[in-house]
Every structure is written in structure tokens, then in C-alpha cells.
Amino acid sequence: MAPLDIFAWVVLLVVIATLVAAFLALGMMPGRIARRRGHPWAEAVAIGSWATLVFGFVFWPLILVWAYVDAPAKREAPR
């Protein structure tokens, strides 16, 4: 095997490892943000993030926004 072939395999492995790491980071990001911010549906945000990444990535930005948006606090009725 020529040195150039070895270099090509190393580059291919690095690219694949980078893609896998990016996929995992994108999958975990909204869930971590929601948990850190104390989101009431943090687990749903985390599951939605993984589901959208696996099934097409289309709604992933929506899930990311959902991680930052909290449910409105209920106001007490005036007395």
C-alpha cells in the first residue's frame, strides 16, 4: 500500500469521525439547553431533537427554538 493510499484512508476516517461527532453534538444540543434553562418539557425537547435528526432534520431548528422558549408562568387571579 502506497503512502498516499494510507493518507487517503486516514483522511477518510477523520472525515467520518467528524461527521459522527457533529451528528451527536447536534442531537444533544437542544436537550442540554432545555435542561440547563429549566424547561418544563426538557425531556420532550431532547427526544424531539433526536427524532428530527433521524427522520430528516427539517424540524430540528424548531426544536432548537423550543429549547429556548419556556412555558408562560400562570398568573394569580386578582383579589
Tens of pLDDT, residue by residue over 1-41, are: 899 999 999 999 999 999 999 999 999 999 999 999 999 89
**Structural domain harbouring 62:** 3-31+42-68
Q: Residue 68 — pLDDT band, cuts 50, 70, 90?
A: very high
Tell me the mean pLDDT in the region 46-61. 93
41: buried, middle or exposed (CB in 10 Å: 19+, 13-18, 0-12)?
A: middle
For residues 64 and 70, give the distance between their C-alpha atoms in angstroms, rounded to a whole number.
Answer: 12
Query: Domains in the chain: how many in total?
Result: 1
Q: Give me the pLDDT at residue 56, please.
A: 86
Look at residue 7 and tell me if it is in a domain.
Answer: yes
Q: Do residues 47 and 65 touch, judged by C-beta distance below 8 A? A: no
Is pLDDT above 80 for 72? no
Asked whether residue 61 is domain-assigned, the answer is yes
pLDDT-derived band at 71 (thresholds 50, 70, 90) equals: low
